[in-house]
Every structure is written in C-alpha cells, then in structure tokens.
Amino acid sequence: MSVIFSTENAIILDHEAWISKTYKDYLTSQVKDSKTISHGRNFEHLFNLRSPFMMDGHAEKIAKRMTENLNCSLPPKKKRRKKGTSNMQNARECTELFHVMEVFAILRDTFAFKTHFNHIASPEDYRNNNRLIRDVRKRFTEISLDNLQVSVNGSTKDKCEFVSLNGRTYILPPDSDYICDDVADILTHTSGRKYDVILMDPPWQNKYVHRRNKNHGKHHGYETMNVSDILKIPVPELLSYDGLLVVWCTNNENHLRELMEGLRNWHVHVIATWYWIKVTKAGEPVTSLSSASYGKRSYERILLARRDGQRNHNVIIPDGLLLCSIPSGIHSHKPPLADVLQAFQVPQSSCLELFARSLVPGWTCYGLEVLKLQDSFLFSA
C-alpha cells in the first residue's frame, strides 16, 4: 500500500515504498551484490529529497547560516512581477491556497507525519542541494529514449516480467497491461471496453517542458498537447456509467478554465478536487507554501468527475483531500492513486491510465512513453 496514514482531510503516501512492494519479487531475486547494498537503487535515490528545491547559491547561503548557527531562513528573493498580474490572481486561488495551508498545518502536527518525515536537514544537505537526485536524473535522461517509436502493447501475469525494446530493458510489474500509442488512436485498442476509473495526467503545454524539449531534445521533456486536443479524447466512449474520471491539472489558470469548460463535452461534472503537496524527507514543502509564485507551487491539483446525472451514493469521494508525499526526482512523476481510490472503495475492476509513463498492477496503462519509468536503469544500483 502506498497509503501509510489517513485522516478525514489528508493522506500520507509513500511512493518509494509502493515501488519496493510492487517489484518485491524482482528486487529480491536480484543478486544482492555489494554495490546494490552500499549504493542503493536508482529509484531509491530519486526519493532521497533532503532539502527543498532551490538554486545552488541560495542553498549555499542557508548552509553557511546554519553552520554559523544563525537563523537559516533567508529573506525571499524579490521577484519581478509580470505586467498585469497580481500576487493573488483571484479569490479562488486564495481560497485554495488557504485550504491547503490549513489542512497541511494540521497534518504536520500529527505523530504519523513527524514519524514518517523525520529527517533533520543538515548544512551538508543544503550544501549538496540534492546532488544525488540530480545526478541520477541526468544519467537517466541520457540513457532513456524518446517515445518508443513503436506501437507496442503487452501484458504480464502474476510475476514481474522483462521486455526488451530498442536496446533497453524494461521491468514490468505483475498483472499489468500496457499500450504504447497516441491517445488519438485509443479506441482502436480498447474494443468497446468501458472503465470504472480513467486517470489521466495530460501533457499540458508549459514553459518548463517546452524549454527542455527545445534545448535538449524530446527525451528531456515530452510531447505536449493543447487543451483542445486533450478534450478530443473520447472519454464518454471509455468511461463506464458509474465510472470516475480523475484528471491531474496544472496550476495554470487558463488550463483549469478550459478544462472545466471542456468537461461538459465529456458529459461529466466535477465532484471533488484533491491536492498533492510535495515535501522533503524532513516534511518541508518543496517550495515555500505561502509563496505567490504560482508556477512553482508545492502542490498540484486533481479533479475527480462523474457522468452527468450519475449519483453513486455507495462511493463517497471527499472534496478538498490533501495527499502528501515525497516526490520522485523525475519531472512530473505523480504518486500512484490506486490505493487512495481503494481507500474510498472506488470500484476498480477495470482501470485505465492515459498518458502513463509507468505501469500499475491491475490497470491498463496507455501513452507514448508508457514504459519510460519501467527502465531497468531505475531498478539497478
């Protein structure tokens, strides 16, 4: 289980533990050479987030202050404000931020939170500025491929399996289905099947991915889609009558507005909004929570929607739920939600993840990079 603690309003997730458990049979069958024992596996390093995200210079200043026994917080850098924008863009954003801060403050006070996020960041941690994560991410980017460039699909049975494609080996979890293709062609693969849950984390256009694609090539970022193309996904044909649609949405207000408008064409309405707050091993938000720089908010939003006219009273989905976990060092890598949905007894006999980059036992995962994070590199030392 990735859920390690829950209250009415918040859940603590452990993504790294979920990976270790999902791939247990593969990981234990590997020869435990001294390198693996002393170095740890690459996916473990990616979760070793010891201090918040910041520039090296800023981190060095904090380390110096800590060493000199001074208050380690530095005055926030003055940001040039874009013309025509205010710090708090609108009342909705203020209310959302206030809600996240309030629920997080209560969660932070719990014994479970203090026990789980028990790291105490040292000056050395700040000085290192998560160098290990950055090194692993860099090596992974260098070896991983652009889209597999093949339309490929497959499935596994009750054990982890391997597949080799284009010179890379991928470790697949038990009981999973995958389809590597363009979402525009999804109906050619699903043969009229309907899903209880459709989860998607669309490739929204954003400056960070655009910059990486432009400067370093697609394998440093990924293909993006504009909102009107995302809204062409044939959700009504794929979602079962009682089904739940779960969509990760960026903090970009335009994306949110266009998505909310477009949901009408999918004949669904939003029943709940959840938030995912990303914290370090010490339980610090990865960027300042109160910061008004919205592009860098330390939390992301998840919309949950049901078909219009559908009222499934057996499954109560709470609104405003806060999910809290240490993020992986891979850009845009989201924590698994299957166990969270399970906690609310959402039926999951057939589940589909669109735009997936990794597989989930019991689910069909679909996307141009569906095997990317299954690369054996991430499971090796």
Ligand X SMILES: C[S@@+](CC[C@H](N)C(=O)[O-])C[C@H]1O[C@@H](n2cnc3c(N)ncnc32)[C@H](O)[C@@H]1O
Q: For ligand X, how many residues bind (rule: CB under 6 A)?
A: 17
10 Å Cβ neighbour count for 87? 12
Nearer to ligand X, 14 or 201 (CB): 201
Residue 174: count of CB within 10 angstroms of its CB: 18
225 near ligand X (CB under 6 A): yes
CB under 6 A: which stretch of 11-19, 111-119, 316-324, 351-359 binds ligand X? 351-359
CA distances from 176 to 183, 316, 374 (A): 19, 27, 12
The nearest distance, CB 294 to ligand X, in angstroms, is: 18
Residues 273-302 contacting ligand X, CB under 6 A: none
Between 23 and 126, whose beta carbon lies closer to ligand X?
Answer: 23
CB nearer to ligand X: pick between 11 and 225:
225
> Which region among 3-11, 51-59, 288-296, 365-373 touches ligand X (by CB under 6 A)?
365-373
Q: Which is nearer to ligand X, 114 or 193 (CB)?
A: 193
Minimum distance of ligand X from residue 234's CB (angstroms): 13
Q: Which of 93, 175, 182, 339 binds ligand X (CB under 6 A)?
A: 182
Among 205, 333, 347, 381, binds ligand X (CB under 6 A): 333
H-only helix segments in 87-155: 91-108, 111-116, 123-128, 131-143
Residue 305: its H or E element: strand 299-307
Pick from 80, 113, 120: nearest CA to 293 = 80
The yes or no reply on residue 183 touching ligand X (CB under 6 A) is yes
Query: What does the block give as tokens for 249?
Result: 């949405």
- Report the distance separating Cα 43 and Cα 65, nearest Å: 32
User: What DSSP string describes 144-196?
Assistant: S-SS--S-EEEE--SS-EEEEETTEEEEE-TT-EEEES-GGGTHHHHTT--EE
Stretch that binds ligand X, among 163-171, 257-265, 293-301, 355-363 (CB under 6 A): 355-363
The residues binding ligand X (CB under 6 A) are 182-183, 201, 203, 222-223, 225, 332-334, 355, 357-358, 367-369, 373
